[in-house]
Amino acid sequence: MTTSTVTETVTPAPRRFSRTSPSLLLVVALGAFLVLSAVRTLTGGYDLTSSGTVAAGLSAAVPIGLAGLGGLWAERSGVVNIGLEGMMILGTWGCGFLGYNHGAWAGLVFGTLLGAAGGLIHAIATVTFGVDHIISGVAINIIAPGLALYLTKVTFAHYEGGGQKQSPPINDAKAITLPFSHWLHTIEDKHWFAVSDLAGLIGGVATRLSLVTLLAVVVLVVSGWILWRTAFGLRLRSCGEAPYAAESLGVNVYKYKYIAVVVSGAMAGLGGSALAISAHQFRDGQTGGRGFIGLAALIFGNWRPGSLAAGAGLFGYTDAIQLRSSAAVHALLLLMAIALALIALWQWRTGQRAIAVVALVIAVLSVLWFADTKKVPDELVGTTPYVVTILVLALASQRLRMPKADGKVYRRGEGH
């Protein structure tokens, strides 16, 4: 605790928001849950909180969250990593390569290693050679899909069950089901306000929970603990906030950046592996921009692990809901309008009148859209994570604070 407050208290900004307290978070979560069940009851979009949606959303959130976690590691050390998508692709291929005859876990390990290798390339380019972080990321995003497809044609195309663009099937990782889950489904089917929603929520988590998902949760918690509760993490974050100050205190900034970016690649690789395992094979183009959605989750989560997970959960949830029910997607519009109205209220109170008005206008438009149509076009639903991120950036950006030296090239001994 004492270590983590060092960087926080240096800037005596008068109206800085304090670390969000757990009780406030609980209230917000409870409020969101009640609004969700109210909307579900009113609109009849039962899939909003059904256990099926929750389960699907959870497994969709895992790759996004891991990619975002990769972004967290890199950006907390001051290196922007838009190569996450490419590293994820390496992970999916690696998982397919070892997964098909050595099982999911071997594939997972190899995919993670390949992701880390991608991270190492990024680290060499950005840390050692001081190349612009975005450029290096773009290059990795060009190389990785080409390399994965090249390797697929060299290897999988000759394997039984494989093809020019896909690997042979991977065995599933184990999943666990808690014993009480079947009567949760009974409650869920009654469609009572709040109670059934809660049952759906728990039921979705408790039924056929993949061990990979559990692993992702553990990795998230451990990452948060390392970055915010250890001396190592403090030093790593100091490289992202003030590298020259860290240098003057004897921190080997290059070393920390290297470690962070390699871990970042490993996280993306793990995310890719999780994706391949849940799809039971590697496929070309499988990641579908999830590396970028991970980046979006990172920004949405204000460069913090907990809210990053919430962002990943939200994006995974919209992903799942889109596949399951158009009525539920339609209800999402109403939810978005409520969230925007709340933002408008908050911005108005903090004196940002113009932004409040913009938020309110978009909220009203959402309500009108909701009232006017029966269904949101499928093509637009997939853009939800990106639209949400843009809205958050545009309407609530003063709440966001990225690491101060994020994306800046650091050369040892050149601080002035």
Partner 1 sequence: MNRLRQRYPLRSVLLGFAAPIGAILFAALASSVILSLGGHSPGDVFQTMFKQAGKPTPFVDMVNQAMVYYLSAVAVSIGFRMNLFNIGVEGQYSLAALGAAYVGGQLTGGGPLHIVAEVVVAVLVGAAWAGIAGVLKVYRGVSEVISTIMLNAIAVGLGSYLLHKLGQSSGNNIQTKPISSSGQFPGISYSGTQSKIFGFLIVAVVLGFAYWFIASRTRFGFRIRATGLNEEAAVASGVNVKRMTLVAMLLSGGVAGLVGLPELLGQTHTFSQTAQSGLGFAGIAIALLGRNSPIGMALAAVLWSFLGKSANQLDFIGVPREIAAIMQGVILLSVVIAYELVRRYRLVLQQKDVAAQLATGEPTERAEPSAPVVTA
The CA–CA distances, whole Å, from 333 to 147, 329, 330, 337 equal 40, 7, 6, 6
> Cα(368)–Cα(336) distance, rounded to whole angstroms?
12
Closer residue to partner 1, CB minimum distance, 42 or 157: 157
181 and 206 in contact (C-beta within 8 Å)? yes
* Segment interacting with partner 1, rule: CB under 8 A, options 6-14, 60-68, 130-138, 179-187: 130-138
Interaction between residue 387 and partner 1 (CB under 8 A)? yes
- Closest separation in Å from C-beta 130 to partner 1: 6
Helix, strand, coil percent content, the chain, rounded in steps of 5? 75, 0, 25
- Closest separation in Å from C-beta 361 to partner 1: 15
Interaction between residue 397 and partner 1 (CB under 8 A)? yes
Q: Which of 165, 171, 167, 169 minimizes the C-alpha distance to 94? A: 167
Buried-exposed string 177-190: b where 16+ CB fall within 10 A, e elsewhere: eeeebeebbebbee
Q: What is the DSSP letter of 283?
A: B
Q: Which of 29, 150, 285, 373 binds partner 1 (CB under 8 A)?
A: 150
* Segment interacting with partner 1, rule: CB under 8 A, options 177-185, 228-236, 264-272, 393-401: 393-401
Q: How far is CA 168 from the centre of its chain?
A: 28
Say which amino acid occupies 356: A
Closer residue to partner 1, CB minimum distance, 44 or 289: 289
Interaction between residue 386 and partner 1 (CB under 8 A)? yes
Compute φ and ψ for 281, nearest 5 degrees: -170, 165
Closer residue to partner 1, CB minimum distance, 35 or 143: 143
Site string for partner 1, 299-338 (x = CB under 8 A): x---------------------------------------
Interaction between residue 415 and partner 1 (CB under 8 A)? no
Q: Which of 140, 234, 310, 333 binds partner 1 (CB under 8 A)?
A: 140
Q: What is the DSSP letter of 159?
A: S
By CB under 8 A, name the binding residues for partner 1.
80, 82, 121, 125, 129-132, 134-136, 138-147, 149-150, 153-154, 289, 292, 295-296, 299, 377, 379-383, 385-387, 389-390, 393-394, 397
